[in-house]
Structure 1
């Protein structure tokens, strides 16, 4: 019995030492602002198996699951209002189940603000415009909004971010502390910065062909809060270089725990997701997750 107990203790010690040997690959968790959270609800998060709704209902459901960082897709309506939608077009209208709410000739069109607001998603979920998003930020004072602005010409950037800032200033200037713009190339930094010097900015890589070295240099120069990349763009070298300069790396959009475990092993900091939660992030690596949380929380 004594020998068996000693064997078990040695086995546990060996597992713990092995886990500790992996710790340098998992970055420090002592973060401020939105990076205090590792999971980002993609397009306000999934709801009832649906994705890309960007809806009020998705926000509330995912807040209740523990999310505090919400990415929202933003487009300009035909009359220049900023609304939470991933894209226009007939196929996407059908995906959202809105076809019965719109005339046939409007199902593939860029909608007016009034048309957008009147067309409930799947006949039940409430679409959001930017003013609605700001209202949610006031009601939920620990929530952060990450912008995914789908129009990116110089003129569109000016119109979109001026509206983002002006309406936040009107509602409550402190809300700007919890708005995190995503930029899509290095050239986008300056026009956004001229409109407003946001506390945190994310560089998302899905539209850029810049090298890993250029990405790291830019992140260090501008003191970016995070780099977001797809699972195909992510690699251990880039992630480790970002960890070295203290920039968080997020991978999008991941709904599989095994994929999360793979990128956690590389040192990735967090993930955009439709359906997984912070609890899912923690439990899929067992003892290693517990040790990481204990060591870095001290």
Structure 2
């Protein structure tokens, strides 16, 4: 009996050790997968082994290197400046404390990077005034490389009036009903409608938009099997931290 109990204890200890090792490996870095999707957008500049949504120079460079043609960046309008998800300290942009080993970027840095990488398109995102961001970005001289996300129907015409032709209606800040979204998409034919993962999972809005020939994207998908399931529903693609384009870059 004592031997059996001892064996059981050893088995339990081994399981605990394996679980501890598994958790440590999960948190040590991200795991990346390749997927074949018509549209794939690197979320928050693109995932790095040590971080997501860093919007750092390293994230942009890695996204380009692994084949992304579309990279979303988060703009912060604090202190009347435009940074990429940054705060200012003594007049200079700084990263979050946990990302201090990465290179932060200002709008000027991004514009310079885009000029050196003309085949890459940047998808905008902000939690601040989108109207103000659109106005600032319209002065960069790189409108053709920018895909502007709008969060409400009335922002679409603001973006068009500012000279932007490629526009995404993204719904994570929207209060529009499915019928309102469908009517808007049919009337305006945006580049895509981006639907939050939960809303896409729980309803049939993706299918309704797809039936009207409207490109549908999902935000955010990091599981390769979930991504494939959405593609089978007619979704064109998604934003991701960990899913990368499969095959040779087309940009």
TM-score by length of 2: 0.77
Does the CA contact (< 8 Å) of 2:221 and 2:238 recur in 1? yes
Structure 2 match to 1:256: 223
Is 1:56 matched with 2:57? yes
With over 3 angstroms needed to count, the CA separation of the structure-2 counterparts of 1:118 and 1:84, relative to structure 1, is closer
> What are the ranges of 5 or more consecutive residues in structure 1 without an aligned counterpart?
1-35, 89-109, 170-174, 281-298
- 2:138 maps to 165
Superposed, 1:132-171 pairs within 5 Å as: 132-152=109-129, 157-166=130-139, 168-169=140-141
After superposition, give the CA deviation of every residue in 1:114-169 in whole Å (9 maximum; x if it has no partner).
232588863321111112111111111110000002113xxxx3432221111x12
1:100 corresponding residue in structure 2: none
The structural deviation recorded for 1:210 is 1.4
CA–CA distance in 2 between the matches of 1:176 and 1:43?
20
**1:5-48 deviations in whole A, cap 9, x for unaligned?**
xxxxxxxxxxxxxxxxxxxxxxxxxxxxxxx9511000011112
Please name the residue that 1:193 is paired with.
160
> How many pairs were matched up?
210
User: Once superposed, what is the RMSD of the aligned Cα atoms?
Assistant: 2.3
Residue correspondence of structure 1 range 57-76 to structure 2 within 5 A: 57-76=58-77
Give the distance between the partners of 1:113 and 1:214, measured in 2 at CA.
45
- Aligned partners of 1:118 and 1:256: how far apart in 2? 27
Q: Is 1:184 aligned to 2:161, yes or no? A: no
| Alignment check: 8 A CA contact 1:73 1:149 kept | yes
Q: Compare the two structures and name the one with the higher strand fraction.
A: 2
**Aligned-partner Cα distance in 1 for 2:97–2:109:** 14
User: Does the Cα contact within 8 Å between 1:121 and 1:127 map onto a contact in 2?
Assistant: no
TM-score by length of 1: 0.65
Q: Which has the higher helix share?
A: 1
